[in-house]
Amino acid sequence: MAYLLGIDVGTTGTKSLLVDENGHIAARATVEYPLHTPQPGWAEQDPADWWRATVQSIREVFAGSGVQPSQVAGLGLSGQMHGSVFLDAAGQVLRPAILWCDQRTAAQCEWITQRAGAEVVVAETCNPVLTGFTAPKIVWLQQHEPAAWERVAKVLLPKDYVRYLLTGEFATEVSDASGTSLLNVRERRWSAAMLQAVGMKEAMLPAVFESPEISGEVTAQAAEATGLLAGTPVVGGGGDQAAGAVGNGIVEPGVISVTTGTSGVVFAHMDTPETDPELRTHTFCHAVPGKWHVMGVMLSAGGSLRWYRDNLGSEEVAIADRLGVDPYQVLCDEAAHAEAGCRGLIFLPYLSGERTPYPDPQARGVFFGLSLWHRREHLVRAVLEGVCYGLRDSLEILKGMGLAVRQVRASGGGARSALWRQMQADVNNCELVTINVDEGPAFGACLLAGVGAGIYPSVPEACRRTIQVTERTLPNAADAAVYERYYQVYRRLYPALKDRFQDLA
């Protein structure tokens, strides 16, 4: 039997996933690494950490599965989007990579928009230039570290740096490239107008492939490091959201995914590249050849709960240690003791600024409505509910664009909690389903590799062969009514506080 390997270069760690051609999991391994914040609002990582984690996790899945490298028919890559890896002419990293959640580039976003022209930016890229995207990071380097910029020969995205070390090829694919502000999203090629605006030559960027296309083969040197077989084909893969959507089966109109990881994403497939008139969502190329997707992104979804765990949840962490369970389980069990709506306690989950529906790097988290009556369970439940409200913001925009919402699929860490799934069903007042596989972008990368290797004839067929709905969560009418009232309060809080966030900044 043939096997497929998916590698997801995430923000907290790199995951390697080995599956057979029927989609059954043979082995998985995740190796974590640090995120560095040298200044407030900055976020950087050392690309060498990604490679070390890739090598270790690949070796671990081979050791844990008994699968031979010769049985791997193809390899797919996924990873955190928008990050910038700057290489010199010898292929050496010049400085730490600047990540998707880094917020230092507000001035550079305005500079690029003025230089290119706002209409040109939207016509070419289908999106505004945002602080998380890659192009403003390039301009920041030009303006703040000119000596380093003079040495830059290539700019790669995180997963594509791993691809370079695996294959020796400078390559990317359309879904990840869509988040650079440098791709013509409608035509699926680099934009000459945007490259001119940021002062780059196309030769500084990698070649662009469709996601299931073979972009290179594992080199002898990479084979020695990882245990893979030299010559194993490596497909384009996808940015984490597009690859994750493939892994969730979001490859046809009407099926929407809600993913709650560090960030939160509401994702819909499109046959044509449509945009939100107010540009609150992102329109990117899909990992399905010739298709597009639209997504709303909140920056601190599961990240908000992690913040609570790390800073306010020491008691719950201690309980989890004693019981030998996940601290998040203890937090959710505690939240279950509070009623829906927390008697008017509302949390704004803007701990890292926000992207959808408010592209505001200065937005901040808020507990609104605290009283002497509120207890710990209300605080943690308010965090969970605030994330659900934020995800609903994106779903409402997609509905406003005229996109059909036939089914909503939950995935990510938040989907593992029955309480959080129920909250999402209640806040959105719609059925929520889960599927038989919850391996995120790594699983989608496996399916893309399978298409490239000829195991599946197309991406939709790969999903049909491997993905089934396993559980359905129906909304509770009484709680849905409570959440409807509080959601209307929630959505008025940011406009009321927007100017005060600027004052704090």
Give me the residues of the chain with pLDDT under 70, please. none
What's the CA angle centered on 442, arms 173 and 2, to 5 degrees?
Answer: 95
319: which DSSP letter? Answer: H
Residues 6+ apart with CB under 8 A from 27: 17, 18, 60, 61, 62, 64, 65, 67
Residues 77 and 178 in one domain: yes
The verdict on whether 240 is a catalytic residue reads yes
- Would you say residue 386 lies in a domain? yes
Residues 198 and 91 in one domain: yes
- Would you say residue 391 lies in a domain? yes
In which residue are the tokens 């308010």 written? Answer: 382
Residues 240 and 309 in one domain: no
How distant, in Å, are the alpha carbons of 127, 204, 287, 409, 464 from that of 249? 25, 34, 11, 9, 8
3-state secondary structure 248-281: HCCCCCCEEEEEECCCEEEEEEECCCCCCCCCCC
pLDDT on residue 505: 87
458: which DSSP letter? Answer: S
Residues 110 and 205 in one domain: yes
Residues 6+ apart with CB under 8 A from 293: 175, 241, 242, 245, 250, 267, 268, 269, 270, 283, 284, 285, 286
pLDDT on residue 262: 84
Residues 308 and 399 in one domain: yes
- Would you say residue 283 lies in a domain? no
- Would you say residue 21 lies in a domain? yes
Cα within 13 Å of Cα(383), Cβ side: 25
Residues 6+ apart with CB under 8 A from 99: 11, 35, 43, 44, 45, 80, 82, 83
Residues 324 and 237 in one domain: no
Residues 6+ apart with CB under 8 A from 488: none
Token readout for 369 is 């409505």
- Would you say residue 439 lies in a domain? no
Token readout for 455 is 């195991």
Token readout for 47 is 């690309």
pLDDT on residue 413: 84
354: which DSSP letter? Answer: B
Residues 206 and 330 in one domain: no
Count of structural domains, the chain: 2
Residue among 461, 457, 462 nearest 444 (CA) = 462
Residues 57 and 192 in one domain: yes
Rounded Cα distance, 449 and 457, in Å = 11
214 SS3 class: strand
CB of 10 within 8 A of CB of 240?
A: yes
Give the model confidence (pLDDT) of 60-88 as tens digits.
Answer: 999 999 999 999 999 999 999 999 999 99
Residues 220 and 314 in one domain: no
pLDDT on residue 217: 98
pLDDT on residue 29: 98
Residues 231 and 308 in one domain: no
Residues 213 and 354 in one domain: no
Residue that terminates a domain, selected from 186, 220, 248: 248
In the set 8, 160, 240, 426, the catalytic residue is: 240
Residues 79 and 165 in one domain: yes
- Would you say residue 104 lies in a domain? yes
Rounded Cα distance, 246 and 88, in Å = 34
- Would you say residue 425 lies in a domain? no
Q: What CATH number did the domain enclosing 106 receive?
A: 3.30.420.40
- Would you say residue 412 lies in a domain? no
The whole domain housing 181 covers 3-248
